């Protein structure tokens, strides 16, 4: 049996994580990509260049590597917990949608992304969700920190599997809220204890309307995945009703295979300077 960590080792781990978070924030702020720029157009970073915090041995001057244009996950300003989850899942090199969107998403910007199914967009929003809550030291008492909306039960289930893999070393609670999986009354008992919700639109709105004390007032990140598909199957009014009940101060990541007029209308409603 593994021995439980002592109080001193837990305290040391917490201090190490707080120090890591401070470094990640400084790294992101110092190398923040210009708004509207396309990191994919930049030259890839040289693999032999130092990554992260760099201290000049002669002058002691501290600088940070650029992460806009990074092609590998370890070149991004993300936590060790997320890096371990990515490594466990076999994720090393980024796809085009990840290279393009992650530098902007990690520093808190809204994203309007066009990416076909299978292009890797799931990690383009799962990573920012995990990192935002990690930097905020999100805990059980903080409630719902992120909502990820998917058009179908099957796609929601696939997202949940990716989240479990990449988020394995984080301590967030996550739930899958979809019709037909379990009785909604069972979900109502637990939904307020969850940090990350992956859900279909109808089920989420049902909880918003029916679940006592269902609270999204502290929401940090909203994700709309396969937005064109969500709208195609008749959830426009449902989405509008959901968005109207969420705090305006939040980050929103909207991904769609196509940029239809309906998607553009939704983007205008949901996104701020994407």
Domains of the chain and CATH, by start: 14-270 (3.40.50.300)
pTM for the complete prediction? 0.93
Is pLDDT of 269 > 90? no
Distances (CA, A) of 270 to 31, 206, 249, 258: 27, 20, 11, 17
Do the Cβ atoms of 207 and 222 come closer than 8 Å?
A: no
Of 57 and 86, the one with more pLDDT? 86
Q: Please name the residues in contact with 105: beta carbons below 8 A apart, sequence gap of 6 or more.
A: 111, 124, 125, 127, 128, 251, 253
The residue written with tokens 């196509």 in the block is 258
Read off the tokens for 232: 């195609």
pLDDT at residue 185 in the model: 76
pLDDT value at residue 13: 82
Q: What is the pLDDT of residues 156-192, one digit of tens each?
A: 999 999 999 999 999 999 999 987 656 777 788 888 8
Q: Rounded to a whole number, what is the distance in angstroms from the first to the last CA of the chain?
A: 49
- The whole-number pLDDT of residue 155 equals 94
> Which span out of 44-48, 131-135, 181-185 was modeled with the highest average pLDDT?
131-135
| 6-42 confidence digits (pLDDT tens) | 777 778 888 899 999 999 999 999 999 999 999 999 8
pLDDT above 90 covers a percentage of the chain that reads: 70
Q: What is the model's pLDDT at position 46?
A: 60
**pLDDT value, residue 49:** 77
Q: How much is the pLDDT for 3?
A: 60
Q: Indicate the average pLDDT of the chain.
A: 91
């Amino acid at each position: 049996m593994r021995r439980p960590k002592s109080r001193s080792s837990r305290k040391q781990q917490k201090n190490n994580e707080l120090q890591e978070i401070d470094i990640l924030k400084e790294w992101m702020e110092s190398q923040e990509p210009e708004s509207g720029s396309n990191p994919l157009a930049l030259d890839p970073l040289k693999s032999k260049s130092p990554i992260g915090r760099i201290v000049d041995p002669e002058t002691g001057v501290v600088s940070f590597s650029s992460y806009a244009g990074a092609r590998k996950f370890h070149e991004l300003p993300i936590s060790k917990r997320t890096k371990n989850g990515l490594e466990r899942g076999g994720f090393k090199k980024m796809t085009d949608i990840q290279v393009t969107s992650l530098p902007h998403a990690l520093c808190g910007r809204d994203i309007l992304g066009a990416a076909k199914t299978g292009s890797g967009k799931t990690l383009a929003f799962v990573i920012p969700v995990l990192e935002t809550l990690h930097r905020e030291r999100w805990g059980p008492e903080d409630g719902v920190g992120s909502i990820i909306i998917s058009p179908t039960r099957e796609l929601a289930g696939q997202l949940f599997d990716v989240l479990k893999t990449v988020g394995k070393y984080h301590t967030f609670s996550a739930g899958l809220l979809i019709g037909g999986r379990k009785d909604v009354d069972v979900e109502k008992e637990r939904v307020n204890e969850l940090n990350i919700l992956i859900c279909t639109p109808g089920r989420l709105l049902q909880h918003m309307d029916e679940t006592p004390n269902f609270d999204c007032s502290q929401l940090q990140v909203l994700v709309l995945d396969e937005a064109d598909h969500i709208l195609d199957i008749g959830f426009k009014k449902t989405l509008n009703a959901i968005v109207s009940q969420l705090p305006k101060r939040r980050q929103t990541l909207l991904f769609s295979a196509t940029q239809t007029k309906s998607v553009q209308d939704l983007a205008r409603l949901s996104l701020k300077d994407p």
